[in-house]
Amino acid sequence: MDMRVYLDNAATTPMADEVIEVMADVMKNNYGNPSSIHSLGRESKAIIENARRSISSLIHALPKEIIFTSGGTEADNLALFASVNDLGVERIISSSIEHHAVEHTYTKLKSSKNVEVSLVKLGKNGEVDLEHLETLLKTSNKKTLVSLMHANNEIGTLLPIKKVSALCRQYNALFHSDTVQTMAHYPFNLEELDIDFLTCSAHKFHGPKGVGFLYVNKNLKINPIIEGGGQERGVRAGTENLIGIAGLAKALTLANEEIEDHIDKVSALKYYMLEQLKEKIPGIEVNGMLEPEKSLYTVLSVLFPKFEKQEVLLFMLDLEGVCCSGGSACTAGANMGSHVIRGIEGDTTRTTVRFSFSRYTTKADIDFAIQKIEKIYGK
């Protein structure tokens, strides 16, 4: 097969060999239902509880604050639905550039439960206007949930999460952050970050698809959105995804082992790629922030200058063996344009390409992509 490079790690990541090994071992040896009381069941249960303990200790939370889910989407849904159903929330403050797992959920809560939705103003790079957020928080007595993503999955803009958490506490609002793009990519310390809900998805950090968790602050008591056998201490029914949970814990452990090195290595690749693009493709522009402390180091979203084949740029990149995307994977395929680029009033007449990296990306991958991009533009 011709060479192919994978620069779409914000959509999903290849699984780490060590994660596959752990999962294969569980698959072979631990078929007991974690709710069964015999030894095989208890062994499965122990795998889940060990995973919960290692995950919680990595993020400095308590084991009981981790609720395993089928991934980021379910965790986002649970945080928003439970806030309204169980915690008295009547108003949600969020943004127009949230992942659809949040955006479609607050829209649904607005129409089905009459929840008031206020969208915070954004700067042209997707940065949250903190003054406006404070004004919104001040001007209502309704019990409020703030749901703002930690890093935008399309343009990488980071939220100053501690400042937002402090504002939420000051005005007695609940705070949920979709940390799907940042969990395992930055260190998390929930002893220092006062937050109510965090969302995690394993497949964004070399773990398996279809598993994640919602962190729920110990002070909150929520009910399930999926009813059944009362697993996850009654908060999420259904026989646990034992294999996935074991993989999730291993993937988070591996990511945290050398997290600072990963940050340095991947950031260097991102800025190298940007430099190369600027040199080879004059007129290229970045969507989102450039400063490392304001921008997710795994994402580089660029606006290509207009050229006659721009409509098919992604397709041509694919033919040349460069896997990347136009926006989030969820809207890919049908090129409907990105709600994020529209949300920041970005230029939708030019083609946006998101390159996204992981600790397995190499300089050779970037050089290959640059060479193909030059070729496409030279045509």
Ligand X SMILES: Cc1ncc(COP(=O)(O)O)c(C=O)c1O
Tokens of 255: 């990511």
| Residue 178 near ligand X by CB under 6 A | yes
Among this protein's residues, is 330 annotated catalytic?
Answer: yes
Q: In this complex, which beta carbon is closest to ligand X, that of residue 75 or of residue 370?
A: 75
| Residue 212 near ligand X by CB under 6 A | yes
Among 219, 172, 230, which residue's Cα sits nearest to residue 197?
A: 219
* Strands 116-119 and 174-178, sheet pairing: unpaired
- Minimum distance of ligand X from residue 76's CB (angstroms): 6
**Number of chain positions touching ligand X (CB under 6 A):** 13
Tokens of 342: 């529209």
Q: Which of 58, 84, 93, 101 binds ligand X (CB under 6 A)?
A: 101
Q: In this complex, which beta carbon is closest to ligand X, that of residue 32 or of residue 224?
A: 224
- x/- track of binding to ligand X for residues 111-150 (CB under 6 A): --------------------------------------x-
| Residue 207 near ligand X by CB under 6 A | no
| Residue 9 near ligand X by CB under 6 A | no
| Residue 231 near ligand X by CB under 6 A | no
Among 124, 152, 148, which residue's Cα sits nearest to residue 136?
A: 148
Containing H/E element for 69? strand 66-69
Q: In this complex, which beta carbon is closest to ligand X, that of residue 78 or of residue 101?
A: 101
Q: Which amino acid makes up residue 29?
A: N
Burial of 117: CB neighbours in 10 Å, binned 0-12, 13-18, 19+: middle
| Residue 99 near ligand X by CB under 6 A | yes
Q: Which of 168, 200, 323, 330 is the catalytic position?
A: 330
Distance separating alpha carbons of residues 199 and 150, to the nearest angstrom? 10
- Minimum distance of ligand X from residue 208's CB (angstroms): 10
Among 23, 84, 65, which residue's Cα sits nearest to residue 232?
A: 65
Stretch that binds ligand X, among 115-123, 175-183, 219-227, 285-293 (CB under 6 A): 175-183
E strand intervals along 95-249: 116-119, 144-147, 174-178, 197-201, 212-216
Cβ atoms 240, 232 nearer than 8 A: yes
Residues of span 66-85 touching ligand X by CB under 6 A: 71-73, 76
Q: Which of 118, 147, 153, 325 binds ligand X (CB under 6 A)?
A: 153
Cβ atoms 195, 175 nearer than 8 A: yes
- Minimum distance of ligand X from residue 210's CB (angstroms): 7
* Closest residue to ligand X using C-beta atoms: 72
DSSP state of 180: T
Q: What residues line the site for ligand X (CB under 6 A)?
A: 71-73, 76, 99, 101, 149, 153, 178, 180-181, 201, 212
Residues labelled catalytic? 330
